[in-house]
């Protein structure tokens, strides 16, 4: 994540920031980062734990930021609960707020097919890297790199870095 963060030029949004630790980490890297999440309890915890960082309750499908206004978006496991037919909504919103040439880092559970599985409070989805990459392309991004990791006893995980295309 720090390598990606070092290439972000401009403000950053941690979309679906949860308890705020990654947003805080990004500010510690010298970035101006704002964390957003739909869960009020997460935002309350994040604000309490990291009082110098900006956090807000927001929907990832409608981000309170101008078009082409940020250098990057971190979506670290924040899209895992989006149904495959609805994933374009937040991806297109990320594309709207990221300036051309800006980047998106998406973390997710990886699998051989797009499939639903039980996860904490609500179901989540596994995605093959190729499938999430195709969705990113449809939303106006070019995949820069991807990484997959399988650790014994854990769900396979992956991350994709994508760059916002110059024009839609």
Separation CA 19–CA 11 (nearest Å): 20
Q: Tell me the per-residue pLDDT of 95-153, one tens digit each, with 9 for 90 and over.
A: 999 999 999 999 999 999 999 999 878 899 999 999 999 999 999 999 999 999 888 77
**Predicted local confidence at residue 71, as pLDDT:** 97
Of 162, 158, 159, the C-alpha closest to 144 is 162
Q: What is the pTM of this model?
A: 0.94
Q: Which domains does the chain have, with CATH numbers?
A: 2-164 (3.40.50.150)
**Predicted local confidence at residue 167, as pLDDT:** 62
- b/e map 25-41, b = 16+ CB within 10 Å: bbbeeebebbbbbeeee
CB under 8 A, 24+ apart: contacts of 54-59: 55/17, 55/20, 55/23
């Amino acid at each position: 994540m720090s390598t990606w963060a070092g290439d972000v030029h401009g403000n950053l949004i941690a979309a679906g920031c949860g308890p705020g630790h990654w947003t805080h980490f990004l500010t510690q890297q010298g970035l101006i980062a704002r964390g957003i999440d739909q869960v009020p309890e997460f935002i309350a915890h994040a604000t309490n734990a990291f009082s110098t960082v900006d956090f807000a309750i927001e929907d990832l499908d409608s981000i309170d930021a101008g078009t082409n206004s940020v250098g990057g978006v971190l979506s670290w496991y924040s899209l895992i609960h989006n149904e495959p037919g609805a994933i374009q909504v937040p991806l297109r919103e990320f594309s709207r707020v990221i300036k051309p040439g800006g980047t998106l880092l998406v973390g997710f559970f990886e699998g051989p097919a797009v499939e639903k599985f039980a996860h904490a409070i609500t179901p989540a989805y596994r995605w093959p890297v190729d499938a999430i990459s195709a969705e990113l392309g449809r939303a106006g991004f070019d995949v820069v790199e991807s990484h997959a990791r399988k650790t014994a006893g854990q769900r396979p995980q992956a991350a994709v870095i994508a760059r916002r295309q110059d024009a839609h």
